[in-house]
Amino acid sequence: MSDPRALFRRYLEQQIALGQPAIVWSTDRRIDGSADRGADGQTGGQTDGMAERRDVDPSGRRSVGPSTRPSAAPPARRWAKDLPAIPTDIGFVLEAPTQDLFSTDPLAAADMSAVERLVHACTNCGLHEKRRHAVPGEGPREARLVVVGEGPGATEDEQGRPFVGRAGELLTEILAAIDCPRETVYICNVVKCRPPENRKPAADEIEACMPYLHRQLAIIRPKVILAMGGTAAEALLHTKASLGSLRNKVHQYRGIPLIVTYHPAALLRNPNWKRPTWDDVRIARQLLDQ
């Protein structure tokens, strides 16, 4: 769509679809191309080169298209009456939108806000049916470290934020221990809606949700990814290998170093995994320092 008028019309339609109030070109021009009628019943404004004229023929039927009648005199432009007329030429070049605001494709999301907007509206898998809040993720867009967990639990579902229950508190402590304050880290999950009863997300749910995570990682491009738990490791590395065999190594996700370790919720259940987790996150720290 390269016609500037079509682009401009599309842009205005999208703004209105997004809840912007109706846009009135001026008191005597409307963006839909129809012309307001002044108190005297005259058609207001001359054609602006962008919109079609709509006229009423003598039979009372509406005709659409360029008018063949001479332009009626413009009515008084109220507060703008002493100002120069609005130019009939737009006078600037409209760039094509970088993103189609009607698109629901996560991979087309222009930025993190767009990803979040899509996640909140997403119904791509059955997990949307019982969620209270979708949980896209949180943290700075320029984070050097991204933590990826499995999916929201009850507290996360309630608050719409990732890692905010007891496991979240433990994650905050782990990050502080490697000198990565939580607020400097982007934290998210493989699936953005809570699986009922905190069950492991099903393969089709993971497949439906992964484009969001891929897009988030592409936008942030962190220096290191920390996959916490087997589900995150499997999804990001496309592997069925056990977590025990994946941890304590440096993997690659699309050229980004990726470390696998235990999920904080697992650590709460089994404190014996504290030491191996510490070994893993120290590798992440070393990578960040390189």
Which CB sits closer to ligand SF4, 120 or 285? 120
Q: Is the dihedral of CA 17, 21, 26, 28 positive or negative?
A: positive
Which CB sits closer to ligand SF4, 127 or 284? 127
CA atoms within 13 A on the CB side of 60: 0
Which CB sits closer to ligand SF4, 127 or 187? 127
Q: How far is CA 130 from CA 118, 192, 209, in A?
A: 17, 12, 16
C-beta of 261: minimal distance to ligand SF4 in Å?
23
d(CA 224, CA 144): 6
C-beta of 178: minimal distance to ligand SF4 in Å?
29
Which CB sits closer to ligand SF4, 157 or 280? 157
d(CA 115, CA 178): 29
C-beta of 257: minimal distance to ligand SF4 in Å?
26
C-beta of 195: minimal distance to ligand SF4 in Å?
8
C-beta of 135: minimal distance to ligand SF4 in Å?
9
Chain contacts with ligand SF4 (rule: CB under 6 A): 119, 122-125, 127-128, 134, 191-193, 205, 208-209
Which CB sits closer to ligand SF4, 134 or 148? 134
Across the chain, which distance is largest between two alpha carbons, in Å?
A: 89
Give the bridge partners for 145, in sequence order.
224
